Amino acid sequence: MIARDIMTRTVYTIRPEASAQEAARLLDQKRISGAPVVDGDGRLIGMVTEADIISKVNREGLRVADIMSHELIVVSEETPLEEIAALLSERKIKRVPVVENGRLVGIVSRADIVHAVAAGHLIVRSW
């Protein structure tokens, strides 16, 4: 299986000029732990997570651009799920954006991988 087979295609995103509070509201309302940050052309430029927000509590006037992670790990729609699972585990991240030609087309989270295992699409093996 590859990313295209399990990725979430409807991805909640936020713009870099949004306030940190707006980012917190998005994560809270959608019950997600992170959201891709996209520019006006829909290009992925960062990721904002619960950890980014928590680390900046009690600082006023911050925008998403001030708190987001800039160093992103991304995959393509063709990336094998085994490779994505290894990335999530080794890098200790919860999600990885799926990008084609610089544009966000989906996201694969830990929950997506677990769902694939539960459905029998992936096998858990002892190494």
CA atoms within 13 A on the CB side of 84: 30
pLDDT tens digits for 49-101? 999 999 988 888 899 999 999 999 999 999 999 999 999 999 999 999 999 98
Mean pLDDT, all residues of the chain: 92
Paired with 100 in beta bridges are 103
Question: Looking at residue 11, what is its pLDDT?
Answer: 95
Share of the chain above pLDDT 70, in %: 98
Question: Looking at residue 102, what is its pLDDT?
Answer: 82
Question: Looking at residue 41, what is its pLDDT?
Answer: 87
Question: Looking at residue 25, what is its pLDDT?
Answer: 96
Question: Looking at residue 127, what is its pLDDT?
Answer: 56
> H helices within the chain, ranges in order?
3-6, 20-30, 50-54, 64-67, 81-91, 110-118
Question: Looking at residue 124, what is its pLDDT?
Answer: 74
CATH code at 3-118: 3.10.580.10
pLDDT tens digits for 8-19? 999 999 999 999
d(CA 90, CA 82): 12
